[in-house]
Amino acid sequence: MQTISVQVQDSYLSSFIDYVKREPNLEIGDPNLKIDPYFYERKQDIQQIIDDIDNGSMQMLSEEESQKEIDLLFETLENAD
């Protein structure tokens, strides 16, 4: 058996993985993909979130602000009964 490296467009990755899984003469050699076939899609999503935080398009809350939001949510849920 031989090992090769393949570069795949992000938008085609899940289709490529599905193809490799169906093909009996090919196997996925990346341990990340054996454990989680959507590893690289999630990695890309997380990178997008990081980029959004860095460029200011995603609002971040301080620990205090987020705790206030959580408390308000629980209060709203308790009063909904």
Provide the residue-wise pLDDT of the chain in tens; the chain has 81 residues.
Answer: 677 788 888 888 888 888 888 888 877 777 777 788 788 888 999 999 999 999 999 988 999 999 999 999 999 999 986
How much is the pLDDT for 36?
Answer: 81
3-state secondary structure 32-52: HHHHCCCHHHHHHHHHHHHHH
Buried/exposed 44-65: b ≥16 CB within 10 Å, e otherwise: eeeeeeeeeeeeeeeeeeeeee
Residue with tokens 């009063």: 79
Q: How far apart are CA 51 and CA 70, in angstroms?
A: 25
Domain boundaries, the chain: 10-79
How much is the pLDDT for 33?
Answer: 74
